[in-house]
Structure 1
Amino acid sequence: MAQTTPIIPAQQSIIEFNLNTIILAIILAVILTAANAYIGLLVGMTVSASIPAAALSMAIMSWFKNTNILQNNMVQTSASAGEALAAGVIFTVPALVLMQAWQGYSFWPILILALSGGLLGVIFTIPLRRALIINRSLAFPEGVATAEVLQAGFQLTGTQANPTELNNSTHYKQTEFSSKSQLGVRHLLQACGISALFKLIGTGFGIFSASATWIKPLLNGQILANFSIQFSPALLGVGYIVGINIAILVLMGGLIGSLIGIPLNWYLQSDFWLEQVQVADTNLLTQTDWQQLANMIWQDNRRLGVGAMLVGGLWSLIQIAKPVWVSIKTNLKSFQSFKQTDNQILRTEHDLPFALLILAMPIVIAPLVFLIYPLLGGTPYPVMFTLIWTLFVVVFAFIFSSVAAYMAGVVGSSNNPISGVTIATVLVSSVIWFYLLSGLTQVAQIGGIIVMYLAAVTCSAAAISGDNLQDLKCGHILGSTPWKQQVFQMIGVVVAAIVLPFILILLDTSYGIGRASEANPNADFLAAPQAVLMRDLTTGIFNQSLDWLMIQLGALIAFIIIIVDSILARFKAKFRLHVLAVAIGIYLPLALAISLFIGALLRFWLESKLKHRTESEKAAHNKNGLLLASGLITGEALMGVLLAVFAAFVIPLATPIEYASWTGVIAFFLICLYIYKRSRAD
């Protein structure tokens, strides 16, 4: 979008929010926070919620009179903030429970970590708005796309028809949706309902299983062949959104960890694994034993993913070394020159006051100090260590918020290296704190907690900062008042920080996060790959128990991928190898990677059918397809959360029926057919 003049000019002032806007913003923030928390824990990936939030906002706000485009922008700003904060929390906080530092998910610590990290992300990126959106005019693709979606539901009224010639008698007014806009919203809501029904019938009533696994020993038990698939509309939606390139790489990782890794590991170490199940002869193994063996070997293979993610995270930071330096310098200069006063600036350039940001920082950081000080109370220098940790928080959050904001403008939020940022934070801070606390008997006990608290704040700040700049880019195009958007961003952070502890408690009780639930051990637990990785890294460093052989093999795999990708880049190939995507695939169950790939394959197939259409027709179909995929994700995720409430407070989830795997195959095929048919609808 080449336009530089806002749709609503600075000289024109319209109502940007009211009670209806605030209530709807809170409701959508809760819904999308819950949905993204569920899907992120399931597959280790999150998707931007700005476009579905904008579409839902327009559909709901159309019921009210005098709704305008800026009010809808405020709603999607809060809703997408909740989605972004969910990513920061679920990638890190579950590690504290998995490493048994916490006995369970506690409301106040999670609230403090999420709220402090999210608000720091907003504060640190406000001065970057002018530097990156106006002066540098970076792309911010999700922000531009959201602005286009909002404009599709509105039209100009008044004396002028050209947006660049607007005067005070001209404004944007919501009208009846065009047929294409109606189609997109209808697809979003319909897909949401179908996906929720799928989850209810499958997981709630046990009519079909959530996954199917086939394990077969070959060559007299020398080779252990296996295949699995997850029956999940949400995974189809995620695959559709991330596209064929990323999906192939995730599947490649799954093949390395499962289809190749399990048979190879079994072939090389069959005697060792037989000892683990206390059976001397493969002929005595039952199907249940084979299943247990395959799972144990796959868990061992996940350490390949640890090595690959370590190298991938460091490589991501090396690749963006120059943007990192540029973004940090830009933010420092922005803070130094951020001295605006009300009478010096236009409405569309009015950020939250600099003095307020400076005042807010100690208020935001103070709860973190009260959270960390009791942990360090038994150390020789509790005050000094607390001050050092607090300094780490400020420095890491500032640096990585700046990086995430800059990279969101360059490559978009979906390709932002948040995982790499978090891995780097955990690795660097673990090594530093290991030496700072060396000599203390409780180093392994408190070291992991200290590092994960730091990682949770940093990851939350980085996730929010990229989302913040995308929304401000959308607002810049539309003509929103920046400080009002920034307030709504903070509203989204506060709402998400309050609901996330409850969501984590419910999901862990009903399904299990990273391991089987004690209350419902037969349920398919949520993989939480990033959180499991953070646990393995921190406990391995502080306990000095990392299995370096498997990690080194994973690192070697990552180096090979990087070399091949460098060759592809040199030849300007369209298909690229992103090492972190492969590493996540190694860490994910193969069943999830296959479903993800099927969703991406459907999109690739549909796009090939549209290659002879005009660019505008392709864009319209693509937009409707993305809304459809978002509906599949949201529907299953919300029903998953609702079933978690039911399982936690009423009765456990139903046991699947005898032929649940086959009914699951049929139902999953019907969902794929639905996506194909609906995505082609004109």
Structure 2
Amino acid sequence: MSVIAEPAPQLTLRAILLSIVLVVILAAANTYLGLFAGMTIASAIPAAVVSMAVLRLLGGGGILENNIVQTGASAGSSIASGVIFTIPALVILGYWKEFEYQWVFAIAGLGGLLGVIFSVPLRRSLIVDQGLAFPEGKAAAEVLKTGENPKQGVKTLGIAALLGGFAKVGAASGLRLFPDTAAAAAWVGKGIAYMGTNLSPALLGVGYIVGFNIGIVCLLGAVIGWNIAIPIYSAFFIDTDPALAAQVASASAEDAAYMIWSAQIRYLGVGAMLIGGIWTLISLRSSLFSGIKSGFDATRSGSTAVIAHTEKDIPMKYIAIGLVLFTLPLLWLYQSIVHQWTASVPMTIIMIVAGFLFVSVSAYMAGLVGSSNNPVSGITISTILFAALILVLLLGRDSPIGAVAAIMIGAVVCCAACIGGDNLQDLKCGHIVGATPWKQQLMLAIGAVSSALIMAPVLNLLLHAYGVGVPTAEHPNPLLAPQANLMASVAKGIFGGELPWVTIGIGAGIGAVIIAVDSWLKASGKKFRIPVLACAIGIYLPIELMVPIFLGGLLSHIVERHFGGAKDEAHHGEIHRKGMLFSAGLITGEALMGIFIAIPIVITGRADVLALPESLHFGGWLGLLLIAFIAWLLYRYATKAEAAN
């Protein structure tokens, strides 16, 4: 039997410890960003840059060791996504007053571990056989391979993080030098004209990362909701809801627009998301089944063969054992909620089947469009809707616990799907640089559990400082938690609640039209696409959140044009590497400052504890100037990067 040489060190103690530190930071940052804007970002590239710098200071650190650090660190973003998309719904529904540590840890940790397990059989199919792009995995591999000056990379991240943090501390939750949003609204006859932009550098960074196409589509959704649907509703249909009409009649144009959006128009986004989630499953059905089959075939055929370390996954026998060990606590968790074995056992079965199915969908979508654009929210809506309909049969439509049970199933599946897509992204990076898959899979499991350990404290800090999801007297402008609000609305609507089903139906029709147009664009070979879930999130969220995302995407496009356009994917990565790092720094700095600001707010119980006197409140123009300056700096850093190569 031939002996296959072992690679350079990978899963070292220092790599594990550094990865855990980065997990905590990135999970906290993405938790804030997700609750604030409904989006999270993949963090593999900044984690890789920080790893190269830190391990070089400690003496060495090869490409495979750095790859292990970014693999574990990226789990923080994934678990944060799974948690903030679903678990705040339990607070929104009134089931919890605050986030209960042991429950959050169990849902996030076990969901994340199941995501790792479910994604193992998919590696060979999606990465080796089908060769999907996994763009963030490729980008991270390029950063690791080129050995980009980590000192310069950390400097870029640090400067951007300071700028993002400064903007956050100067805004409405900090010193109050300027508001969070610059907006203008006016009555035009019976209609309302509204436009505004959030003054957040983090959203500018998000837009740069997701790109021009997604930025346009997000803004398109917002225009549909705010500049078309709201004026039409206020002019022609407001009298169908007398209570809302009375509120709108005595409100300013800006407040009236928000009232109509909150009561009716955002549910257009719900309908579009529902149809988008269903379409995602339908469109991927053949690739999904063939991918699962070839993954198991590869596992069986490789069980007796001598294979290179670059093809060694966690053995299937351990996968089977882990599946049982991680499922039993979830069965107990569900039983403790519904107190009926006739319901808890089906809940567990639904969770396992949906988890495996949607991890496969998530992994495939991450391979196509990347983790940042992965429509996990649509996947989760589909899970909650299906679970709720089954639970209606088991518990009855008037069950007081039905909506909570559906959210609990969706939360585990969402965490699993987020980790599944991230796992394959990291394994793509490892495949390119020659890493050992089972070591990456183990590191991802460690990262998932580490992230789960800190989620509840971070969520409670944000809840007490800013409020989450539901406006209250204490927190009239809470973190929106848009996906969790959506999940709560869907689950509650199935179990005896009231939802504007006509509006949801119209939204589903809008989603169907978008799908038809996107299918035509695909068939025509057009580069520009209109992913339905990106458009739906634009309809569902306030337009001021979409404007800076669009501007960030536009800036990304301008950078490309500066260098003559991205001729291919590798060239695209070269152009945007420095800009991506700067954008990641803006996001991380603003998000971490948001968490730090929350500490004195919680301690004192005063939202204005850091506020300067009113004579030093300068209005939205100061925030606009700051955002313009940061955008200019982002452009300078992005264009300097290529010239330096």
Compute the TM-score of the two structures, normalised by the length of structure 1.
0.87
| Separation (CA, whole Å) in 1 of partners of 2:167 and 2:215 | 23
Cα pair distance change 1:142/1:276, threshold 3 Å: closer
- The more displaced of 618-627 and 445-454 is 618-627
Cα pair distance change 1:134/1:598, threshold 3 Å: closer
- Within 5 Å, give how 1:43-192 maps onto structure 2: 43-153=37-147, 178=149, 182-192=151-161
- Within 5 Å, give how 1:421-432 maps onto structure 2: 421-432=379-390
Tell me how far 1:121 sits from its aligned partner: 0.7
- Within 5 Å, give how 1:197-276 maps onto structure 2: 197-202=166-171, 203-219=173-189, 222-271=190-239, 275-276=243-244
Tell me how far 1:479 sits from its aligned partner: 2.4
Secondary structure in 1 aligned to 2:197?
Answer: strand
Q: Deviations over 1:147-189 (max 9, x none)?
A: 1111122xxxxxxxxxxxxxxxxxxxxxxx54xx654443222
Aligned to 1:547: 500
| Separation (CA, whole Å) in 2 of partners of 1:563 and 1:324 | 22
Aligned to 1:390: 348
Pick aligned residue for 1:591 from 509, 520, 544: 544
| Separation (CA, whole Å) in 1 of partners of 2:414 and 2:565 | 43
Identity percentage over the alignment? 40
Cα pair distance change 1:126/1:570, threshold 3 Å: closer
Tell me how far 1:650 sits from its aligned partner: 3.6
Tell me how far 1:368 sits from its aligned partner: 1.4
Tell me how far 1:336 sits from its aligned partner: 5.4
Aligned to 1:438: 396
Determine whether 1:574 maps to 2:542: no
**Alignment gaps of 5+ in structure 2:** none
Secondary structure in 1 aligned to 2:503?
Answer: helix
Pick aligned residue for 1:526 from 469, 479, 499: 479
Pick aligned residue for 1:480 from 427, 435, 460: 435
Aligned to 2:465: 510
Aligned to 1:167: none
Secondary structure in 2 aligned to 1:414?
Answer: coil
Cα pair distance change 1:576/1:621, threshold 3 Å: closer
Aligned 8 A contact 2:121 2:292 in 1: no
Tell me how far 1:460 sits from its aligned partner: 0.9
Tell me how far 1:106 sits from its aligned partner: 1.1
Aligned length: 631
Cα pair distance change 1:617/1:212, threshold 3 Å: same
Secondary structure in 2 aligned to 1:247?
Answer: helix
Cα pair distance change 1:452/1:413, threshold 3 Å: same
Aligned to 2:553: 600
| Separation (CA, whole Å) in 2 of partners of 1:575 and 1:132 | 24
Q: What amino acid is aligned across from residue 627 of structure 2 in structure 1?
A: F
Tell me how far 1:277 sits from its aligned partner: 7.3
Pick aligned residue for 1:646 from 592, 595, 600: 600
Aligned 8 A contact 1:25 1:492 in 2: yes
| Separation (CA, whole Å) in 1 of partners of 2:110 and 2:549 | 33
Q: Deviations over 1:290-346 (max 9, x none)?
A: 4432221011211111111111111122211211222333345456557469xx444
Tell me how far 1:569 sits from its aligned partner: 2.4
- Within 5 Å, give how 1:606-645 maps onto structure 2: 606-611=559-564, 619-645=573-599
Pick aligned residue for 1:296 from 259, 284, 288: 259
Cα pair distance change 1:547/1:624, threshold 3 Å: same
Pick aligned residue for 1:402 from 360, 369, 382: 360
Aligned 8 A contact 1:195 1:633 in 2: yes
| Separation (CA, whole Å) in 2 of partners of 1:617 and 1:568 | 24
Aligned 8 A contact 1:10 1:348 in 2: no
Aligned 8 A contact 2:239 2:245 in 1: no
| Separation (CA, whole Å) in 2 of partners of 1:333 and 1:435 | 37
Tell me how far 1:396 sits from its aligned partner: 1.1
Q: What amino acid is aligned across from residue 251 of structure 1 in structure 2?
A: L
| Separation (CA, whole Å) in 2 of partners of 1:226 and 1:408 | 35
Pick aligned residue for 1:493 from 436, 448, 453: 448
Aligned to 1:680: 639
| Separation (CA, whole Å) in 2 of partners of 1:368 and 1:618 | 43
Aligned 8 A contact 2:125 2:292 in 1: no
Determine whether 1:660 maps to 2:619: yes
Aligned 8 A contact 1:215 1:224 in 2: yes
Aligned to 1:359: 321
Compute the TM-score of the two structures, normalised by the length of structure 2.
0.92
Aligned to 1:169: none
| Separation (CA, whole Å) in 2 of partners of 1:318 and 1:394 | 20
Q: What amino acid is aligned across from residue 492 of structure 2 in structure 1?
A: T
Note the aligned Cα RMSD (angstroms).
Answer: 2.5
Q: Deviations over 1:4-37 (max 9, x none)?
A: xxxxx95144322333222211110011111111
Cα pair distance change 1:487/1:340, threshold 3 Å: farther
Cα pair distance change 1:610/1:536, threshold 3 Å: same
- The more displaced of 393-402 and 264-273 is 264-273
Cα pair distance change 1:576/1:346, threshold 3 Å: closer
Aligned 8 A contact 2:223 2:539 in 1: yes
Determine whether 1:196 maps to 2:165: yes
Secondary structure in 2 aligned to 1:62?
Answer: helix
| Separation (CA, whole Å) in 2 of partners of 1:326 and 1:143 | 23
Q: What amino acid is aligned across from residue 343 of structure 2 in structure 1?
A: F
Aligned to 1:556: 509
Aligned 8 A contact 1:10 1:479 in 2: no
Aligned 8 A contact 2:238 2:245 in 1: no
Aligned 8 A contact 1:143 1:473 in 2: yes
Q: What amino acid is aligned across from residue 290 of structure 2 in structure 1?
A: V
| Separation (CA, whole Å) in 2 of partners of 1:111 and 1:612 | 45
Pick aligned residue for 1:42 from 18, 26, 36: 36
| Separation (CA, whole Å) in 2 of partners of 1:136 and 1:292 | 51
Q: What amino acid is aligned across from residue 548 of structure 1 in structure 2?
A: W
Q: What amino acid is aligned across from residue 641 of structure 1 in structure 2?
A: I
Aligned 8 A contact 1:55 1:149 in 2: yes
Cα pair distance change 1:22/1:640, threshold 3 Å: same
Aligned 8 A contact 1:372 1:450 in 2: yes
| Separation (CA, whole Å) in 1 of partners of 2:600 and 2:106 | 27
Q: Deviations over 1:182-239 (max 9, x none)?
A: 54443222111111111112232111111122222234xx232222210000000011
Aligned 8 A contact 1:510 1:517 in 2: no
Q: What amino acid is aligned across from residue 620 of structure 2 in structure 1?
A: S
Cα pair distance change 1:73/1:213, threshold 3 Å: same
Aligned 8 A contact 1:88 1:459 in 2: yes
Aligned 8 A contact 1:328 1:403 in 2: no
Aligned 8 A contact 2:347 2:387 in 1: no
Secondary structure in 2 aligned to 1:595?
Answer: helix
Aligned 8 A contact 1:92 1:534 in 2: yes
| Separation (CA, whole Å) in 2 of partners of 1:99 and 1:138 | 39
Aligned 8 A contact 1:196 1:639 in 2: yes
Q: Deviations over 1:588-614 (max 9, x none)?
A: 111101111111111112221211799
Cα pair distance change 1:535/1:666, threshold 3 Å: same
Cα pair distance change 1:536/1:17, threshold 3 Å: same
Secondary structure in 1 aligned to 2:10?
Answer: coil
| Separation (CA, whole Å) in 1 of partners of 2:314 and 2:304 | 9
